[in-house]
Amino acid sequence: MWEGLSSPDNMQQTIKQKVSISGTGVHTGSNSTLTLHPAPADTGIVFTTHVIASPDLSGRSNLPAKVASAIEFEHGVTLGNKDTRIMTCEHLLSALYGLGIDNCICELKGEEVPALDGSALPFVQLINKVGITTQEKPKLYTEIKEPILISHQGRFIMGIPDKDFRISMFIDYNHKWLKPQYTSFKITPKTYKSEIASARTYTFIEWLKKLKDKNLIKGGTLENAIIITPEGPVNTLRYKDEFVRHKILDLIGDLCLLGTSIKGHIFAIKPGHRLNYEFVKKLIDLCA
C-alpha cells in the first residue's frame, strides 16, 4: 500500500454535505433511511446505525467497510460486528468506490441498504446533489505488482499489473436466452457514471422460489430487479449487456472492502460475492 502523488487527482475525497435517501430493502422488505455524511481524511467508508454526534466518530459503535467486517455473501454482502449488521451494501459501496470517494460516514436507520432501482445510479445521483470535495491528504493505493489468481469451481478472478484501474468481465449461465457476455472498462468516475452505475441487479425466474424459500427477496419487484425468463427479460433493458455490466458494478463494490484505491487490471470469469471477497483478502495479503 502506498500514497498517491500530491496532485488534485490523487488526493482523498469526501462529499460536501450530508444527504439522505429512503427506500425498501430487497431482501428484508423493510424500509430504511440512509444518510451519507462528510468524513475527515483517513476515516475511510464507515457504517453506523447511530446518529452522528461528532466527525471523529468518538463514542460510537461503527462498522468500517473493510474485508474484516464482511460476514455473509449469499445474494449480497452483509457487514457486521457484535453491535451492528448492515445487509446488501454492495451497490452503495460500488457508487462510493466508483466515484473515487475515500471517506464517508454511512448512517443507516434500518437493517438493509435501500434497493432503490436495483443499480448504483440512485446513489450516484444522491452524491451528485451535494458534490464531492478534495481533501488535504494523498489517496492510499493498493497496487497489483505481480499476477494474482483465485479460482473455485470454474469461476476465476485474476489481477495483473496496470498503471490504471481496469476490469474485464465474462459471464455465462448456460441459459436458453442469456448468452455469454463479455466487456471491459477502464474504471474512472466518468466511465463509472456513464457505463456501469445504471446496470441493475437481475435474477432468473426459475430462481425465485428458491430465494423465497430462503426468506429472501421480500422487497423484490420489477422496479428493483430484472427478471429473466427462458424467452428473455420481463423488463426493458438499459444496455444489451446490462448483466455483465452489473457484475462489474458488484465487483467494484466488493473491491471497496480493500479500504484503498486500486491500480491493476482485474479479469473475472463468472465471479460472485464470495469469490470477490476471497480475491480481496488475497490481494491484501500479497500487497500488504
| Phi-psi label, residue 57: left if phi above 0, alpha if psi -120 to 50, beta otherwise | left
Rounded to whole angstroms, the Cα distance separating 273 from 200 reads 16
Rounded to whole angstroms, the Cα distance separating 200 from 242 reads 7
Grid cell for residue 86: 448492515
Strands (E), 5-147: 11-15, 19-24, 31-38, 45-48, 62-64, 70-72, 78-80, 85-86, 104-109, 132-138, 140-143
Rounded to whole angstroms, the Cα distance separating 256 from 114 reads 18
Rounded to whole angstroms, the Cα distance separating 248 from 266 reads 10
Rounded to whole angstroms, the Cα distance separating 9 from 4 reads 9
Rg over CA atoms, the chain: 18
Is 91 labeled as catalytic in the residue annotation?
no
Cβ proximity of 247 and 157 under 8 Å: no
Residue 159: which H helix or E strand, with range? Answer: strand 155-160
Grid cell for residue 8: 488534485
DSSP class of residue 201 equals: P
Q: Which of 27, 37, 91, 273 is catalytic?
A: 273
Catalytic center residues = 273
